[in-house]
């Protein structure tokens, strides 16, 4: 699975849980990596998300 903001591959943990989070934008739920979470605010991430 890839980050919708930076297109970097998201690491998976036990039972295929991603190391990151999901954000809802425009009615779609998209994955975001932990690096983007630490670097950017929610509003910046929502503007960078690729459809």
Among all chains, which residue has been given the structure tokens 């991430």?
A: 45
Domain boundaries, the chain: 1-51
pLDDT along the chain (51 residues), means of 10: 87 85 88 90 86 60
Q: State residue 20's pLDDT score.
A: 84
Q: Is 24 left (phi over 0), alpha (psi -120 to 50) or beta?
A: beta
pTM for the structure as a whole: 0.75
Distance of CA 47 to the CA centre of its chain: 12
Q: State residue 41's pLDDT score.
A: 92
Q: State residue 15's pLDDT score.
A: 87
Torsion, Cα 7 36 43 6, to 10 degrees, reads -10
Q: State residue 49's pLDDT score.
A: 84
């Amino acid at each position: 699975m890839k980050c919708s903001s930076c297109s970097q591959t998201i690491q998976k943990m036990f039972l295929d849980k991603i190391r990151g989070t999901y954000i809802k934008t425009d009615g779609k739920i998209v994955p975001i990596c932990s690096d983007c979470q630490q670097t950017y605010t929610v509003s910046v991430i929502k503007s960078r998300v690729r459809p």
